Amino acid sequence: MRLKPLMMIILAVAFGGSAILVGNSWLQRQAERHRPVAAAPSEVPRATIVVAASPLRYGDEVGRARLREIPWPGDALPAGAFATLDEVTRGGPRLALAAIEPNEPILRGKLTGEGQRATLSALLSDDMGAVTIAVDEVIGLAGFVLPGDRVDVLLTQDAAEGGGGLHNDRILHNVRVVAVGQTADEKTDKPTVVRAVTVEVDTRGAQKVALASRLGRLSLVLRKAGETAPRSARRLTAGEVAEGSAAEGDGASVHVTRGATRTTYAVPRLGAEAVPDAAFATGNIARRPGAPAARTEAVAEPPKGDR
């Protein structure tokens, strides 16, 4: 009688253990079935690139001690990059033509050729030259014009030299400053009063500067950093300097004398949208807001013998 309960206990334990094993196996299969499949890592081609190990400035020698190689994706190498230190130093020392910060890739366009000097000519763009403009503290904007800035160049002529009265013209537009004095480092941030500013121009621009320097006084206008929109400019005469002058606006003054009365009218320039003041006299057109009315003056009646 005691053997039967023992057998039942053994069978219950056996069946229970089997149920647990089967259940765990089923759960594992279900978990593996619903587990997201991780994408196999793609093989990225690896390469090396040379970067600056310390800051480099214009004219610094680029030697091994100031460079290092780092891994770089082979399909994302910058144009003009060096793969090894030997490529940089082969053929003689190179000099920096622009500021290079630590860990910045070394590019051929920022270095001189093998064994070359760091001259100003190496900084010029293709088909461009350089011309120097003599400046003083005022023309040089108190020394705040620095290499890398962009400026407009103005010419002021007086009646004796240019003819036609005192006037001002823009002769160069949005030109790059490549050097101030004897400094061409674009990282220079300290204003310095110099006697010369060198700008990058094409052949015609150089001709303009050479001729204009003999005709009158040159002035520099500093442009906002990153500004690319063209600026309109026209000749400005001495009569337009005073604020509110008729020539400065959209018209000019016309004097009409009828007998002993002289009337002054404001007539718009060609292409101006404003209504001419001369039309006010007809009474058919209302005078535009803010425009002065026609001025009437009495003039002395000439002698009868002069009529």
Residues with Cβ within 8 Å of residue 119, at least 6 apart in sequence:
none
pLDDT of res. 267? 63
pLDDT in tens, 78-126: 998 999 998 888 877 788 888 899 999 999 888 887 766 667 777 788 8
307, 286 contact by CB (below 8 A): no
> Is residue 161 over pLDDT 60?
no
C-alpha dihedral sign at 273, 277, 280, 286: positive
pLDDT of res. 250? 54
95, 122 contact by CB (below 8 A): no
Q: 3-class SS at 74?
A: helix
Q: Considering the domain delimited by 46-118, tell me its CATH architecture.
A: Alpha-Beta Complex (3.90)
pLDDT in tens, 208-266: 999 999 888 898 988 888 787 777 788 877 777 765 554 444 556 666 777 777 777 66
Structure tokens at 117: 């000097």
> Is residue 301 over pLDDT 90?
no
Residue-by-residue DSSP string for 111-178 = B--TT----GGGGSPTT-EEEEEE--TTTTGGGT--TT-EEEEEEEE-HHHHSSSSEEEEEEEEEEEE
Euclidean distance between CA atoms 191 and 197, whole angstroms: 13
196, 213 contact by CB (below 8 A): no
> Is residue 270 over pLDDT 60?
no
Domain limits of the chain? 46-118, 124-238, 242-306
In the structure, what pLDDT confidence band is assigned to residue 287 with cuts at 50, 70 and 90?
A: very low
pLDDT in tens, 36-63: 665 555 666 788 999 999 999 888 888 8
**Model-level pTM?**
0.53
